[in-house]
Amino acid sequence: MSIIVLGTIGLDTVKTPVNLKKDILGGSAVHFSMAAKIFTKVNLVSCIGSDFPRKYKIFLKNKGIDLRSVSVIKGENFRWTGEYTKDFNCAITKKTVIGVLGSFKPDITNDQRKIKNIFLANVDPKLQLSLLKKFTSPRLVACDSMNYWIENSKKDLLRVLKKVQIFFCNDQEARQLSGEYNIIKASKILLRMGPKIVLIKKGEHGVLLNAGSFMVSLPAFPIDNIVDATGAGDTFAGGFMGALTLEKDISRLAIFNAIIKGTVIASFNVEGFGLEETSKLNKIMILKRMNKYKRLFVL
Amino acid sequence: MSIIVLGTIGLDTVKTPVNLKKDILGGSAVHFSMAAKIFTKVNLVSCIGSDFPRKYKIFLKNKGIDLRSVSVIKGENFRWTGEYTKDFNCAITKKTVIGVLGSFKPDITNDQRKIKNIFLANVDPKLQLSLLKKFTSPRLVACDSMNYWIENSKKDLLRVLKKVQIFFCNDQEARQLSGEYNIIKASKILLRMGPKIVLIKKGEHGVLLNAGSFMVSLPAFPIDNIVDATGAGDTFAGGFMGALTLEKDISRLAIFNAIIKGTVIASFNVEGFGLEETSKLNKIMILKRMNKYKRLFVL
């Protein structure tokens, strides 16, 4: 079993009250891959610019991530600059350079067309749709999105939602896309747009999942020293989807365990800059924290 | 076993986008009592003005709440006016009339001095301290507070915190009093101020409890039709404390079950105005919803 992810490979500049990290490796597909690879073989579909550091490419290769469908395009790499203030758990975007992502047409190899587990991270829904068409036998398809596409490409996004089983979004996006403030009502409206499961990421407040016939609500793992929350949502998705890839059925139990794994891996992500912590993870570290995590809500 | 609560008996005016309720029965001690009485005998310490409707006094009496320590003071009753907009789960306070609460000196009967379980709802910490002195053998003491006392009576509030086992607050108050934004760090700082347990109420995101040697984090019960959230925190506290009153030890298991009961009862509170829903509750209704609630986070 393997999984394929479409998303960005970025160079992130992150400012916090005590630190500044320039051009560190990031992007939705990278954070997703670093978590999913703990459970399964990961194929990455993205593009990089001619200025993308060779060391990062080697780093990803050494992590066992299949980069055959990462195209190198002449031009500047996708870059994101964000700042964390003392009081906020989420970054304020200071600058985004789209770069080569603007002319990217995702494609995959012939053998990758047969991959059954697909995650479409937050990119233009047109790209998500064009890639999705190439698979011959999708089993589990999930996507993420963001406010920009809800505002500017709603029609395409709704088309994507009709083709996915799981829709990942945060609480603000759920409210914006559904037009409903109450998050439970919002999740019900989103279910009517196509997906079988709506998974709302609430950051420090955990996750709310609505599968129609049942709901799951689990807290975040409490972290008292948040260093850099960039990529936490994609890390969660990577852990969640990676774990589900190994399951025969997308049952309530499988979903439950996948949320727990995703949550725990995401909690490591926020403890370091970029991939500092998640790239060092092994199954024993995850298992240990899973046991600690369960003590929060298990009688 | 019985419990005693110090707090307000209020006349609330609540405005929502579709409704306006004038001078309905409310107040911290009333909401607390309505939940706690499901489990234990409740004694209420408060004051009412000469304009307090007789029907409300009869209503409380008929609910079995001991009103001997509710003093009637000449003057206007405590009144609160709040408005819920379409987009917010918590009310904007439009007007507060302190009335007779301003000259209130809480006192209790001789037999009430022996009550072992005490809840000091959000009132002037000076009143909390003066009442607390009167008990001869307190076993379980908990208190609540609010931003006003943190800003204006911090010294007295800190004195109260040295004398309680459980401190109830919401996330904003935890941040304000601790001077720390991260809620986990904040709870640790608050523990050092005296209480053995810090219980942070996060509204629609549930509850985070830090007992030093363990933490509990549980979601709210998902409600898609919130009518009026007034008193939800005090209702939670009433259910939680009422349930703990019946327990020999304040163990992790006892705390867990008490949070579940408090959460479920609070979820009924928000489904109606004032006491509409909580005053009709019985144990079977609570048990049914408890089972539904547990399905959110139990594997």
**Tokens linked to B298:** 């139990």
Res B88 pLDDT > 70: no
Domain B2-294 has CATH 3.10.290.10: no
* Mean pLDDT, chain B, integer: 96
Q: Which of residues 144-203 of A touch B (CB under 8 A)?
A: 181-185, 188, 202
Report the pLDDT averaged over residues B277-293.
97
pLDDT interval class at A88 (50, 70, 90): low
CB contact under 8 A, B299 and A253: yes
Confidence (pTM): 0.94
Rg value, chain B, Cα: 18
Q: How far apart are CA A51 and CA A39, in angstroms?
A: 31
ipTM of the complex: 0.91
CA end-to-end distance (rounded Å), chain B = 34
Contact list in B for residue A224 (CB cut-off 8 A) is 182, 184-185, 188
Average pLDDT of chain A, as a whole number = 96
Distance CA A127, CA A138 (A): 17
pLDDT at A18 over 90: no
B218·A184 Cβ contact <8 A: no
What digits encode the pLDDT tens for the residues B105-119?
Answer: 999 999 999 999 999
Neighbours of B68 (CB within 10 A): 12
Q: Backbone dihedral region of B237: left (phi > 0), alpha (psi from -120 to 50 degrees) or beta?
A: alpha
pLDDT at B160: 98
- With tokens 């989420």, the residue in question is A90
Q: Within an 8 Å CB–CB cutoff, is residue B256 touching chain A?
A: yes
CA–chain centroid gap for B65, Å, is 16
Which of A205, A208, A223 faces B202 most closely, judged by CB atoms?
A: A205
- Are the beta carbons of B204 and B189 closer than 8 angstroms? no
User: Chain A contacts of B295, Cβ < 8 Å?
Assistant: 214-215
pLDDT at residue B291 greater than cutoff 90: yes
Q: Judge whether residue A161 has pLDDT over 90.
A: yes
Domain ranges of chain B: 2-294
Alpha carbon dihedral A30, A31, A33, A34, in 10-degree steps, equals: 110
With cut-offs at 50, 70 and 90, classify the pLDDT of residue B86: confident
- Verify whether the Cβ–Cβ distance A214 to B295 is below 8 Å: yes
pLDDT, one tens digit per residue, over A177-209 is 999 999 999 999 999 999 999 999 999 999 999
- Alpha helices (runs of H) in A65-182, residue ranges in sequence order: 125-132, 147-152, 154-161, 171-178
Classify strands A79-83 and A66-73 as parallel, antiparallel or unpaired: unpaired
pLDDT tens digits, A263-280: 999 999 999 999 999 999
For residue range A102-149, list pLDDT tens digits in order: 999 999 999 999 999 999 999 999 999 999 999 999 999 999 999 999
What is the per-residue pLDDT for B276?
97
Do A273 and A287 form a contact (C-beta atoms < 8 A)?
Answer: no
